[in-house]
Amino acid sequence: MPLSASPAPCPDGGIGRRACFRCMYSQGCGGSSPLLGTSTFQNTVIVGKSSLRRPQNSVCYGKLLRDLPRGLFDRDGRYYYRKFVPVIVQRLTGKVEIWRSLKTDSLSVALRRLPMVSASIEAEFELSKQKAGLPVDATLIRPLLNDGNNDAHGFTKEGEFPAGTALSISSSRTTLAEAYQRYMGDPTRDWSVSTRQAYETTRTVALALFGSDTFIRDISRVEVREFIDVLRFLPKNAVKLFPHLTLREAAERAQSDGSISRITAAHANTYLGNLSTFLNWAVIEEMIDRNPARGLRLPDEVARRDKRHPFSVRQLEQIFHAPIYTGCVNGEQGWASTGDVCPQNARYWVPLIALHTGMRLNEICQLDVADVRFTGSLPCIHITSSSLVGSNDKMLKTGISERIIPVHQTLLDLGLIQFVETKKSRGDTKLFDDIATGSRGVRAVSFSKWFTRFLRATGAHRCLPSAIDRQIGVH
């Protein structure tokens, strides 16, 4: 055969020297697929190199990419299968389409895996109908395996799934509620009370918006964006303000009524971050193939450095010239009224300790009486998660938060040591046992609510044009 001066052009608009499928050696082999370009090569042109062998009537790779099987898509170099949900199943699941990753960037591997994934989805459709009491096609539910225990059609004689079957739909049938229950009950997680509470709150919101019975595999990127749209307009304390409305309905009302206060972008992003962390866990546990919430967040107009503002001198004057420091009726209900009592309780001491030590609010509220003691000849406050008296309600934000702070001279002059000695003589173990622990078991939550009312009563709670004013207070 004569040598050709140049290789024959790739039919139907080729995309390069190596674009043609290498199907020469599959000629005549059993199982060859026309989709992969198997054909007879009677007019092959040889140009001297194996890489330039090019059949004149072969199928071009460029054409093959345009002729992918229905539902097969290439996303950023990875192959996915999309299946539209039948109308009758849409009514049961609320899903319009399902996306599944084929977990490969190889087209040949994707084509081999496609039938199995498609069959798995069809089985899910039938199981949804079966669960609703509708007629089903049992053939689509049973795995077509022939392992010696099946009949000639690949089914077991009892019509059940054969033992050891490779086709498992247990993970794909996991609901969001079931996945969250496993996530929250994971014994490897060492969460603080506040962290666990944050994830519990996110779980409540996620189950309310996605649906408890929604299969976790069916949560798509589109649905996560709808989740974000609800968060954008979600009112503060939506459950308390609108007990008879769903979260979605409450968000729609807040969207139409501009007077309803909404959660901040930072708050919404906290929900998103917690949801994304949960979905990352689900990927590791092989419940889903990818995290549909990855990289999604709301833009936050308030810069990080502006999230918290210190009190101004004017505000500090308003706080520490309030009746509770100059004289009030009593330290309980009469703290805002002028009187001749200077109460010795948490409402008096916590702001003073915060001002002169920089301690976190919960670090102050959870102090034991034994935590204020002398180190040598110097009175100090010992900040630690352990307790000398057996308290089990102490926690720190980080492991490096343990420290020792000398008591400021102003606190000594105001009588802090005498207050501690009085508590000790009474046999008290907690320095501020007058602060309620609340439903979360965290005293700082209860005190923070009172301190917000206190700031408003003194006029120290300034109103700013953004959400910054919510961050002014004891941190």
* Structural tokens at position 158: 């009892």
Confidence of residue 401 (pLDDT cuts 50, 70, 90): confident
Which one is predicted more confidently, 63 or 361? 361
Does one domain contain both 296 and 323?
Answer: no
Is the confidence at residue 54, as pLDDT, over 90?
no
The predicted model scores a pTM of 0.50
For position 129, what pLDDT does the model report?
82
Tell me if 155 is assigned to some domain: no
Is the confidence at residue 66, as pLDDT, over 50?
yes
pLDDT tens, residue by residue, 339-356: 888 888 999 999 999 999
Phi, psi of 430 (to 5 degrees): -95, 135
Is the confidence at residue 412, as pLDDT, over 60?
yes
Domain-ending residue, one of 67, 84, 100: 67
CA atoms within 13 A on the CB side of 299: 1
Is the confidence at residue 301, as pLDDT, over 90?
no
Is the confidence at residue 151, as pLDDT, over 50?
no
Which one is predicted more confidently, 225 or 8? 225
Does one domain contain both 129 and 182?
Answer: no
For position 411, what pLDDT does the model report?
95
DSSP 8-state symbol, 51: G
Tell me if 74 is assigned to some domain: yes
How large is the average pLDDT for residues 182-187? Answer: 90
For position 459, what pLDDT does the model report?
87
Which one is predicted more confidently, 399 or 340? 340
Is the confidence at residue 110, as pLDDT, over 80?
yes
Does one domain contain both 250 and 393?
Answer: no
Which residues constitute the domain of residue 97? 69-141
For position 302, what pLDDT does the model report?
65
Does one domain contain both 84 and 232?
Answer: no
Does one domain contain both 317 and 457?
Answer: yes
For position 60, what pLDDT does the model report?
47
Task: Extract long-range pairs of 272-281: CB within 8 Å, 24+ residues apart.
Answer: 272/228, 272/231, 272/296, 272/297, 272/298, 273/297, 274/198, 274/199, 274/202, 275/202, 275/206, 275/224, 275/227, 278/179, 278/180, 278/183, 278/199, 278/202, 278/203, 278/206, 279/219, 281/183, 281/186
Phi, psi of 120 (to 5 degrees): -65, -40
Tell me if 157 is assigned to some domain: no
Dihedral (Cα; 184, 188, 190, 196), 10-degree rounding: 0
For position 312, what pLDDT does the model report?
87
Helix ranges (DSSP H) in 132-175: 138-141
Say how many domains are in the chain. Answer: 4
Does one domain contain both 378 and 325?
Answer: yes
Does one domain contain both 343 and 458?
Answer: yes
Decide: residue 384, CB within 10 A, 0-12 exposed, 13-18 middle, 19+ buried: middle
Does one domain contain both 452 and 339?
Answer: yes
- Under the phi-then-psi rule, with left for phi > 0, alpha for psi from -120 to 50, and beta for the rest, what region is 445? alpha
Confidence of residue 32 (pLDDT cuts 50, 70, 90): very low
**% of the chain residues with pLDDT over 70:** 74
For position 136, what pLDDT does the model report?
78
- The C-alpha atoms of residue 328 and residue 414 are separated, in whole angstroms, by 17
Is the confidence at residue 39, as pLDDT, over 70?
no
- The C-alpha atoms of residue 81 and residue 99 are separated, in whole angstroms, by 6
Q: Which of 100-104, 154-158, 384-388 has the lowest mean pLDDT?
A: 154-158
For position 285, what pLDDT does the model report?
87
Confidence of residue 2 (pLDDT cuts 50, 70, 90): very low
Tell me if 99 is assigned to some domain: yes
Domain-ending residue, one of 239, 273, 301: 301
For position 149, what pLDDT does the model report?
42
- The C-alpha atoms of residue 351 and residue 349 are separated, in whole angstroms, by 6
Tell me if 462 is assigned to some domain: yes
CA-atom Rg of the chain in angstroms: 34
391 Cβ contact partners less than 8 Å away, ≥ 6 residues apart: 366, 368, 429, 430
pLDDT tens, residue by residue, 328-338: 988 888 888 88
Is the confidence at residue 259, as pLDDT, over 50?
yes
> Average pLDDT, whole number, for the chain?
77
How large is the average pLDDT for residues 217-231? Answer: 92
How large is the average pLDDT for residues 414-428? Answer: 93
> Which of 180, 201, 199, 203 is CA-nearest to residue 190?
199
Does one domain contain both 343 and 432?
Answer: yes
For position 292, what pLDDT does the model report?
93
Does one domain contain both 275 and 378?
Answer: no
- The C-alpha atoms of residue 306 and residue 303 are separated, in whole angstroms, by 5
Does one domain contain both 257 and 320?
Answer: no
For position 461, what pLDDT does the model report?
77
Which one is predicted more confidently, 136 or 227? 227
Contact 424, 389 (CB under 8 A): no
For position 51, what pLDDT does the model report?
40
How large is the average pLDDT for residues 441-446? Answer: 83
Is the confidence at residue 19, as pLDDT, over 90?
no
For position 467, what pLDDT does the model report?
33
Output the CA torsion sign for 444, 446, 447, 448: positive
Report the CATH number at residue 221: 1.10.150.130
